[in-house]
């Protein structure tokens, strides 16, 4: 029997000023900023450095640089973001994002990123769904890799301490909020604590709650669940983005992302009858923004490939993601799908050289994984769980959550994208709010009284976290974590997908509570050394929390808006729901409270920018 007070003497301890959890774009950018501000920074990540999900981002980073179209300003970017988010965005976040993204992109270039160029030698920008101007700075279709490598090299050169292959399972709280975190090394299984003056969550999303997803195993809602566990608010959790184009075949890669850049470069969506169906699905109030004939769309594509401004309007395939996903889903459901249950996406009418140069990794991906040459034939694509708009409720300026000492940036933070995120706005979000949050977390850490002293960690919490960690190993032949994960994914995929209805959502909540009841009995074989079954147990706990939050929030919102489509409430109810965010928080008894809050007030300047859209 170990006394609680002895626990702290026996555990590996790394005190830091700022602990950043997650080393994707947001975490790296936050760590760089906090380090530059003079704080000591620990950066913890579940994988090797440089493997985080940002590496998968393909199409580009949205910033109104105005290199291709000088008309593009932060105001237009702001407006597109709000319109794309169905006005549910935190307007101040959308404003900061649009204003600061260009500087953040230029900063990457100054740190060594090598973006594709315009003819006059500047950063090239490509068009994307929902963006009214060519706006995405990019490197072929591997923009995320370029970004993460640039940030990684910068962070390491700056002297950020990186703790790789380390999972945080618990936040430790004190009288003044969050004071550190408890985790374990995935390579050895040994426990570790990080006393920290401030903690930044940058853990990404929740895609692994679904069967078909473009997300890797890492996307288990860790930050969402950690924040929830210490009483922080989560907002807008019902808004899960289903990316319209994931691979549908072969089965092993079902859900794998097919970048929107394919459509940005001119990719055409067709059903099995060869019909270019997207124009049928354009929302009436936005139809005027899209090409009305194939000829006009083709003129637009030609102009884009030559880097010219054109009066032709963009193709209907570049509608917002929520809309394209529903369209594809409907085509398939109504029997007009492709052989493997998707639709066709065709870029093969463009010169092969051009396709290979602009979409090299898509070319390789289809060639190597599906035996399809995208320069000679169409791809088969269908919707895939891609991104969660909802997340930790944060202050727009600082990324501070509703719990002192706890911050969030990137996908784990909510508010920025409203009901639907535009492509390319995620990478810029990571940079803008990573930078802001890193600066704020460092400022708060260095202003805490007695700043040289490491915070005191409650030994009881640390001991309990250690026991929780060991429990599945002691269970031996208990509940199989892989089976539990499959069952969870099945519930979410089946009942809380693209189209939702009250009866399904109610069934999902009762299914989820049954799954939750199975969790404590999960047991695993083997030891602590790089044991994936054991690792999965703690991710499952987090997935159960976020799944419940998504389902209950979806049940509460009795309207359709953006990525949230209710069959039983197909209308967008502006009067009833237009001004309200869903809020999820943990009650003291451990149950989940679901409520709403009014959207933050918008300044008159921003209101004016939105004009008729508002």
Partner 1 sequence: MIEVRPPAEVPARGEALPGAAIDEARASSVAKLRVFRGEPGTPSRYDEFDVPVEEGMVVLDALHWIQGNGAPDLAVRWNCKAAKCGSCGAEVNGRPSLTCKTRLSDFDLDEPITVEPMRTFPLVRDLVTDVSWNYEVNRSIEPFSPPADVPQSDWRWQQEDIERVQEFRKCIECFLCQDVCHVLRNHETERPFMGPRFLVRAAGLEMHPIDQADRRPYLKDVGGVGYCNITKCCTEVCPEHIKITDNAIIPLKERVADEFYDPIQWAWRKLRGRSDSAPDRRSLPVLQAGRQAEPSIEPTPERLARAVGEDSPVAEPMHAAAPTTSTPAAEPTPAAERTDAGKVAKAARATAGARAKRARRRPDTGDETPSEG
What is the set of active-site residues? 243, 263
Candidate segments 30-38, 134-142, 171-179, 445-453, binder of partner 1 by CB under 8 A? 134-142
CB of 321 to partner 1, least distance (A): 12
Residue window 152-171: x/- pattern of binding to partner 1, with contact defined by CB under 8 A: -xx-xx---xxxxxx-----
Nearer to partner 1, 8 or 312 (CB): 8
Both tokens of 427, joined, read 């990478």
- Within 30-49, which residues bind partner 1 (CB under 8 A)? 42, 47-49
Q: Where are the alpha helices (DSSP H) in 406-458?
A: 425-447
Does residue number 298 form part of the binding site for partner 1 (CB under 8 A)?
no
CB of 18 to partner 1, least distance (A): 14
Kindly report the backbone phi and psi dihedral angles of residue 499, in degrees, each rounded to the nearest multiple of 5, phi listed first.
-110, 130
Does residue number 602 form part of the binding site for partner 1 (CB under 8 A)?
no
Interface size with partner 1, residues (CB under 8 A): 124
Identified binder of partner 1 from the candidate list 9, 71, 176, 601, rule CB under 8 A: 9
For residues 133 and 72, the answer to whether their CB atoms sit within 8 Å is yes
Give the torsion sign (CA, 45, 138, 413, 419). Answer: negative
Candidate segments 25-33, 268-276, 518-526, 601-609, binder of partner 1 by CB under 8 A? 518-526
- Within 387-446, which residues bind partner 1 (CB under 8 A)? none
Dihedral, 224, 227, 231, 236 alpha carbons, nearest 10: -30
Does residue number 607 form part of the binding site for partner 1 (CB under 8 A)?
no
Nearer to partner 1, 182 or 228 (CB): 182
Candidate segments 75-83, 104-112, 233-241, 260-268, binder of partner 1 by CB under 8 A? 104-112
- DSSP 8-state assignment for residue 252: G
CA–CA distance, 267 with 298 (Å, rounded to integer): 10
Helix (H, G, I), strand (E, B) or coil at 325: helix
- How far is Cα of residue 375 from the mean position of the Cα atoms in its chain? 30
Identified binder of partner 1 from the candidate list 5, 6, 187, 293, rule CB under 8 A: 187
CB of 551 to partner 1, least distance (A): 12
Both tokens of 561, joined, read 């808006």
Does residue number 13 form part of the binding site for partner 1 (CB under 8 A)?
yes
DSSP states along 206-233? -GGGSSSBS--TT-S-HHHHHHHHTT--
CB of 577 to partner 1, least distance (A): 13
CA–CA distance, 547 with 492 (Å, rounded to integer): 7
CA atoms within 13 A on the CB side of 550: 37
Both tokens of 56, joined, read 């998968």
CB of 92 to partner 1, least distance (A): 24
Q: How far apart are the first and last CA of the chain?
A: 63
Identified binder of partner 1 from the candidate list 306, 311, 353, 368, rule CB under 8 A: 368
Nearer to partner 1, 243 or 586 (CB): 243
Strand partners, 180: 172, 195
Q: Name, in order, each residue with C-beta under 8 angstroms of 471's C-beta and a sequence gap of 6 or more.
A: 520
Candidate segments 270-278, 401-409, 529-537, 601-609, binder of partner 1 by CB under 8 A? 529-537
CB of 398 to partner 1, least distance (A): 27
- Within 550-569, which residues bind partner 1 (CB under 8 A)? 560, 565-567
CB of 572 to partner 1, least distance (A): 5
Q: Name, in order, each residue with C-beta under 8 angstroms of 118's C-beta and a sequence gap of 6 or more.
A: 67, 68, 124, 125, 307
Does residue number 333 form part of the binding site for partner 1 (CB under 8 A)?
yes
Residue with structure tokens 């390491």?
A: 156
Identified binder of partner 1 from the candidate list 22, 25, 50, 316, rule CB under 8 A: 50
Identified binder of partner 1 from the candidate list 444, 496, 515, 546, rule CB under 8 A: 496
Identified binder of partner 1 from the candidate list 73, 174, 231, 281, rule CB under 8 A: 281
- Within 440-479, which residues bind partner 1 (CB under 8 A)? 473
Does residue number 51 form part of the binding site for partner 1 (CB under 8 A)?
yes
Does residue number 251 form part of the binding site for partner 1 (CB under 8 A)?
yes
For residues 444 and 432, the answer to whether their CB atoms sit within 8 Å is no
Name the CA radius of gyration of the chain, rounded.
Answer: 23
Identified binder of partner 1 from the candidate list 99, 132, 174, 188, rule CB under 8 A: 188
CB of 393 to partner 1, least distance (A): 26
Identified binder of partner 1 from the candidate list 121, 476, 590, 612, rule CB under 8 A: 121
Nearer to partner 1, 11 or 403 (CB): 11
CA–CA distance, 72 with 133 (Å, rounded to integer): 6
Q: Name, in order, each residue with C-beta under 8 angstroms of 229's C-beta and a sequence gap of 6 or more.
A: 170, 171, 545, 586
For residues 436 and 29, the answer to whether their CB atoms sit within 8 Å is no
CB of 29 to partner 1, least distance (A): 16
């Amino acid at each position: 029997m170990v006394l609680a007070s002895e626990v702290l003497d026996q555990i590996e301890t790394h005190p830091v000023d700022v602990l950043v959890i997650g080393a994707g774009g947001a975490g790296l950018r936050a760590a760089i900023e906090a380090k530059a501000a003079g704080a000591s920074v620990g950066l913890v990540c579940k994988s090797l450095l440089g493997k985080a999900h940002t590496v998968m981002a393909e199409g580009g980073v949205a910033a109104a640089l105005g290199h291709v179209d000088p008309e593009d300003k932060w105001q237009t970017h702001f407006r597109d973001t709000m319109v794309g988010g169905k006005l549910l965005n935190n307007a101040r976040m959308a404003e900061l994002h649009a204003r600061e993204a260009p500087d953040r992109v230029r900063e990457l270039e100054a740190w060594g990123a090598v973006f594709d160029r315009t003819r006059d030698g500047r950063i090239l920008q490509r068009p994307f769904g929902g963006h009214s101007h060519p706006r995405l700075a990019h490197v072929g279709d591997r923009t995320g890799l370029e970004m993460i490598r640039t940030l990684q090299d910068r962070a390491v050169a700056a002297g950020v301490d990186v703790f790789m292959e380390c999972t945080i399972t618990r936040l430790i709280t004190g009288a003044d909020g969050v004071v550190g975190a408890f985790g374990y090394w995935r390579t050895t299984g040994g426990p570790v604590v990080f006393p920290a003056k401030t903690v930044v969550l940058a853990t990404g999303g929740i895609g692994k709650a679904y069967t078909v997803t473009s997300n890797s195993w890492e996307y288990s809602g860790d930050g969402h669940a950690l924040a929830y566990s210490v009483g922080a608010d989560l907002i807008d959790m019902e808004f899960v983005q289903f990316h319209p184009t994931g691979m549908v075949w072969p089965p092993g890669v079902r859900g794998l992302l097919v970048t929107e850049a394919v459509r940005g470069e001119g990719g055409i969506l067709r059903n099995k009858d060869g019909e270019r169906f997207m124009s049928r699905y354009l929302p009436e109030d936005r139809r005027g923004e899209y090409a009305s004939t194939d000829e006009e769309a083709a003129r637009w594509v030609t102009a884009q490939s030559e880097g010219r401004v054109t009066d032709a309007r963009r193709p209907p395939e570049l509608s917002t993601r929520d809309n394209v996903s529903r369209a594809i889903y409907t085509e398939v459901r109504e029997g007009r799908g492709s052989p493997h249950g998707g639709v066709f996406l065709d870029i093969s009418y463009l010169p092969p050289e051009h396709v290979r140069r602009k979409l090299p990794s898509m070319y390789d991906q289809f060639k190597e994984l599906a035996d399809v040459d995208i320069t000679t034939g169409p791809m088969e694509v269908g919707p895939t769980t891609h991104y969660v708009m909802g997340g930790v409720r944060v202050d727009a300026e600082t990324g501070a959550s509703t719990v002192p000492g706890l911050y969030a940036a990137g996908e784990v933070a909510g508010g920025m994208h409203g009901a639907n995120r535009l492509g390319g706005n995620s990478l810029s979000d990571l940079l803008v709010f990573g930078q802001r949050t890193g600066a704020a977390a460092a400022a708060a850490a260095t202003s805490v009284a007695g700043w040289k002293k490491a915070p005191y960690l409650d030994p009881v919490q640390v001991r309990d976290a250690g026991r929780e960690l060991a429990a599945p190993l002691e269970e031996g032949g208990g509940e199989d974590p892989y089976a539990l994960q499959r069952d969870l994914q099945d519930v979410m995929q089946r009942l809380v997908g693209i189209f939702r209805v009250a009866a399904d959502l109610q069934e999902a909540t009762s299914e989820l509570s049954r799954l939750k009841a199975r969790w404590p009995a999960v047991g695993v074989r083997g030891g602590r050394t790089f044991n994936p079954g054991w690792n999965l147990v703690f991710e499952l706990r987090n997935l159960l929390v976020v799944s419940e939050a998504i389902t209950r929030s979806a049940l509460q919102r009795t309207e359709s808006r953006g990525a949230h489509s209710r069959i039983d409430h197909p209308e967008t109810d502006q009067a009833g729901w237009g001004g309200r965010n869903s809020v999820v928080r943990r009650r003291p008894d451990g149950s989940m409270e679901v409520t709403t809050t009014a959207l933050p007030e918008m300044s008159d300047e921003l209101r004016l920018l939105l004009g008729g859209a508002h």
